[in-house]
């Protein structure tokens, strides 16, 4: 008869337990080693796969990093294709439409038909892809940005237009221009800031200058701090002594109507001690090459700021005027909302094609004239503000 577990000798029982425990430990160790080997092999595979992926990405980066320097003439892999994909190529702001060399005309539409299609698109601006069709048609004005890209804007029907005959009415006197027609004769002027240094106002007077627009101050485009132009008082006093009429302008970086009122109050307060008969201008410009506090203003917000400045200046009994480039006036302001105010246009295209009403014109930023060393901004006024 076999003995059961409980009938064994105590010493045998102890030996038996040790044997079982060792067997269990050995089995566990074998299983653990198997799992470790499996994990290591799996992780190695993952690392190798990951390394291959990174290497591939790095290779693509090496290939693509200079791709923007490749010219279209260097890409000849489509030359044997019978039906290449039409793809316009834009270089230096001009759009060159693709034309299939095997076709006499890449489009079934005539130029007149295209122009009609554009006209039926309604109000707004045209991008450069429509430039060729809009360039020679009435009703649009072209604006070229700093990168050379042209955009065409429909001329606003309700914004007052100018009636100048600039093709025939301009008179050149050694690089200084005047305008004359059967209604008016312009007055010669310059605009000055501290950067013009020493100015001989008597020589300016002898050169026929009838007015000067003086920068009174500015607001920092980063700090928002208002500062006085350190040459304003000197220039204003000397211009008056020389018998030259004065106006003033403020370089604005207002971001709301409250700041516009602050700027208007500042310039009015500063000119109150001088006999200023020419306009007080708000100078609206974009900062090139840096971020400015006014960059994110909408057209409506910028227009409201300009209108508030002009309203405030007018409320004090002065003549407000808006100084801006053609691009700023056409693309960044709502001119129909500013039709009550005069415009001081900055445009060096000669003669300007700006269609709307303007009373003053800064036509050259690199002019030369006796009394000032170096470049000077040359202006003309179509209105005698001394008598207005």
CA distance 16 to 83: 89
CA distance 72 to 291: 34
The domain spans of the chain are 1-43, 96-154, 166-381
Q: What is the pTM of this model?
A: 0.67
Helix (H) or strand (E) holding 191: strand 187-192
Residue with tokens 């700027």: 263
- Class of the CATH-defined domain 166-381: alpha beta
Q: Which of 351, 222, 370, 360 is nearest to 292 (CA)?
A: 222
Is residue 355 a contact partner of residue 374, using CB atoms and an 8 Å limit? Answer: no
pLDDT digits (tens, 9 = 90+) for 78-116: 233 333 333 333 333 333 333 333 334 433 444 445 444
Per-residue pLDDT of the chain (388 residues; tens, 9 = 90+): 444 444 444 455 555 555 555 655 666 665 666 665 555 455 444 444 444 333 333 332 332 233 333 333 332 322 333 333 333 333 333 333 333 333 344 334 444 454 444 444 444 555 545 545 544 457 899 888 778 888 999 999 989 999 999 999 999 998 999 999 999 999 999 999 999 999 999 999 999 999 999 999 999 999 999 999 999 999 999 999 999 999 999 999 999 999 999 999 999 999 998 999 999 999 999 998 899 999 999 999 999 999 999 999 999 999 999 999 999 999 999 999 999 999 999 999 989 999 999 999 999 999 999 999 999 999 999 999 998 8
Is residue 379 a contact partner of residue 364, using CB atoms and an 8 Å limit? Answer: no
pLDDT digits (tens, 9 = 90+) for 168-178: 999 999 899 99
CA distance 362 to 374: 17
Is residue 265 a contact partner of residue 252, using CB atoms and an 8 Å limit? Answer: no
For 358-375, b where at least 16 C-beta lie within 10 A, e where not — what string? bbbbbbbeebebebbeee
* pLDDT for residue 68: 31
């Amino acid at each position: 008869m076999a003995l059961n577990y409980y009938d064994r000798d105590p010493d045998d029982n102890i030996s038996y337990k040790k044997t079982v425990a060792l067997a269990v430990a050995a089995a566990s160790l074998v299983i653990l080693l198997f799992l470790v080997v499996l994990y290591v092999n799996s992780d190695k595979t993952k690392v190798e796969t990951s390394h291959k992926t990174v290497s591939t990405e790095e290779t693509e980066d090496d290939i693509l990093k200079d791709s923007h320097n490749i010219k279209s003439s260097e890409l000849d892999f489509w030359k044997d294709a019978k039906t290449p994909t039409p793809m316009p190529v834009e270089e230096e702001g001009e759009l060159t439409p693709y034309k299939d060399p095997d076709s006499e005309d890449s489009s079934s539409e005539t130029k007149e038909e295209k122009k009609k299609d554009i006209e039926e698109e309604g109000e707004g601006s045209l991008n450069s892809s429509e430039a060729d069709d809009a360039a020679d048609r009435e009703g649009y004005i072209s604006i070229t940005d700093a990168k050379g890209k042209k955009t065409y804007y429909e001329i606003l029907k309700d914004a007052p237009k100018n009636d100048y005959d600039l093709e025939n009415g301009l008179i050149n006197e050694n690089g200084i221009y005047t305008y004359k027609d059967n209604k008016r004769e312009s007055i010669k002027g310059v605009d000055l800031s501290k950067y013009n240094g020493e100015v001989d106002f008597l020589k300016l007077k002898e050169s026929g200058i009838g007015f000067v627009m003086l920068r009174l101050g500015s607001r920092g485009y980063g700090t928002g701090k208002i500062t006085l132009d350190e040459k304003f008082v000197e220039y204003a006093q000397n211009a008056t002594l020389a018998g030259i009429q004065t106006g003033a302008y403020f370089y604005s970086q207002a971001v709301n109507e409250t700041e516009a009122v602050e700027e208007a109050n500042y310039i009015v307060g500063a000119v109150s001690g001088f006999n200023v008969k020419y306009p007080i201008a708000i100078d609206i410009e974009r900062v090139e090459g840096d971020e400015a506090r006014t960059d994110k203003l909408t057209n409506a917000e910028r227009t409201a700021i300009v209108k508030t400045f002009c309203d405030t200046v007018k409320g004090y009994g002065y003549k407000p005027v808006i100084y801006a480039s053609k691009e700023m006036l056409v693309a960044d302001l709502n001119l129909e909302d500013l039709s009550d105010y005069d415009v001081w246009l900055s445009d060096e295209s000669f003669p300007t094609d700006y269609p709307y009403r303007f009373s003053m014109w800064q036509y050259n930023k690199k002019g030369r004239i006796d009394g000032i060393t170096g470049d000077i901004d040359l202006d003309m006024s179509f209105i005698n503000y001394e008598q207005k």
